[in-house]
Structure formats: structure tokens, C-alpha cells
Structure 1
Amino acid sequence: MVWTLAVLFGISAILLILSSIKSLKSAKEEQKRMDLAHIALVKDINDLQDSIRTIELSMEIILKEAGIQLSQSELQTLREVLDLYKRGYSIESIAKKKQVSESEISQMLAPFQIQPEERGKVANEI
């Protein structure tokens, strides 16, 4: 009886050691996988930051070449108004949201609105 208990105790100790080794290996593999995911995420963030920097520099060059003089607040307001317009907001709702007149919003959006072609109008009149 004593031998049986000793053998069972020994087997349980061996199984406990093997289980600990296996869980340690799986924890190391999981840590390695998380490290690779973290590295990929950091690389993607750096790529996005580089893209944003490039876009900002391109925008600055285009504004300077076009001779447009806008302050940062004016540029921010124009960006927000254009974003709202592109998302389908009406000029009236944008004017209410920004607390400016509809005519000012229309003037801001004029260069970005698609003008209907006059040719189609003439063809329908004939």
C-alpha cells in the first residue's frame, strides 16, 4: 500500500513538472506572438504618421503655390465644413452647426461643388 502511494505520488510529481514545462513553453510562444503583433502595429503606426506628414507637407506646398493665405483656424473651419458637406449635410444644417450664415457656407463650398454642365441644358431646349 505504501509503495502504491509512493509510486502515485512520484507519477503526480512528474506530471506536475511536465505540465509546468509545457505551460511555460506555451506562455513563451504566446509572448512571442504578442511581440510580433506589437511590432507590426508599431510599424503600421509609423507608416501612417509618415503618410500624414507627407500629406501635410504636400498641402502646405499646394497652398503656397496657389497663393492661398489661410490661417490655421480658417483652414480648420474649411476642413470641417467640407467634411460635413461630403457626409451629406445640407448647407443650412452646416450653417446652424457652425453658427455662420448660409451664404458664407456657400462661398466656402463653391470651389468644391460640382457645376452642372451647360451643354445638357441647351440640348434639352432644342
Structure 2
Amino acid sequence: MEWTLAGLFVISVLLLIFSISKSTHAAKVEHNQIDLIHISTMKEINSLQESIRNLELDNVLLMKEAGVQLTSEEKILKREVLDLFKRNYSLESIADLKQVSVNKIEKIVAPFQDLKDEGRKVANEN
């Protein structure tokens, strides 16, 4: 009886050691997977940041070559107005939101309006 109890105790200690080693190994594998995901995410972030920097430089170059001088407020206004226009806001509602005249909004979005759509609207009104 004593030998059986001692044997069971030894087996339980061995199983505990085996369980701890398996869980430690599994934790290391999971940690390595997390590290790989983190590294790939950081590479993607760096790539996106580089693309953004390149786009900003291209924008500066294009503005210099075109001779356009805009303040940062004007750039922001034009960007926001164009965003609202592309999301199908009316010119009047954009003017109300930005607290500027409708004429100014029309001047900003004029280069981006599709002439084909306007022709269809006029043709269909008759």
C-alpha cells in the first residue's frame, strides 16, 4: 500500500513536470508567433509611412511646378470640400457646413465635376 502511494506520488510529480514543460513550450511558440506578427505589422506601417512621405513630396513638387501658392488653411478647406462633394453633399450644404459662399464652393469643385453627368441632366430635363 505504501509503495503504491509512493508510486502514485512519483507519477503525479512526473506528470506535473511534463505539463509545466509542455505549457512553457506552447507559451514560447505563441510568443514567437506574436513577435512575427508584430514585425510584419511594423514593416507594413513603415511602408505606409514611406508612401505617405512620397505622396507629400510629390504634392509639394506638383504645386511648385504648377506655381500654386496655397496656405495650409486653403489646402484643408479644399480637401474637406472635395471630400464632402465626393460624398454627394449638395453645394449649398457644403457652403453651410464650411461657412463660405456657394460661389466659392463652386469654384473649388468646378475642376472635379463630371461634365458628362451635367449633360445628361440637361438632356433629361426636357
What is the TM-score when the length of structure 1 is the normalising length? 0.90
After the TM superposition, which residues 14-93 of structure 1 pair with which residues of structure 2 at under 5 Å, given as runs? 14-93=14-93
Aligned to 1:123: none
The structural deviation recorded for 1:35 is 0.2
Percent identical: 52
Give the match's secondary structure for 1:88. Answer: coil
Q: Matched residues in 1 for 2:68 and 2:116: separation?
A: 26
The structural deviation recorded for 1:112 is 1.3
Aligned to 2:113: 113
Q: Deviations over 1:58-96 (max 9, x none)?
A: 011111111111011100110111011111211111111
Q: Matched residues in 2 for 1:84 and 1:99: separation?
A: 14
What amino acid is the match of 2:102? E
Q: Matched residues in 1 for 2:116 and 2:3: separation?
A: 97
**Does residue 100 of structure 1 match 2:100?**
yes
Aligned residues: 123
What is the TM-score when the length of structure 2 is the normalising length? 0.90
| CA RMSD between the two structures | 2.2
The structural deviation recorded for 1:8 is 0.7
Q: Matched residues in 2 for 1:11 and 1:97: separation?
A: 76
Structure 1: 4+ residue segments shifted above 3 A: none
The structural deviation recorded for 1:116 is 3.4
> Any unmatched runs of 5+ in structure 1?
121-126
The structural deviation recorded for 1:104 is 1.0
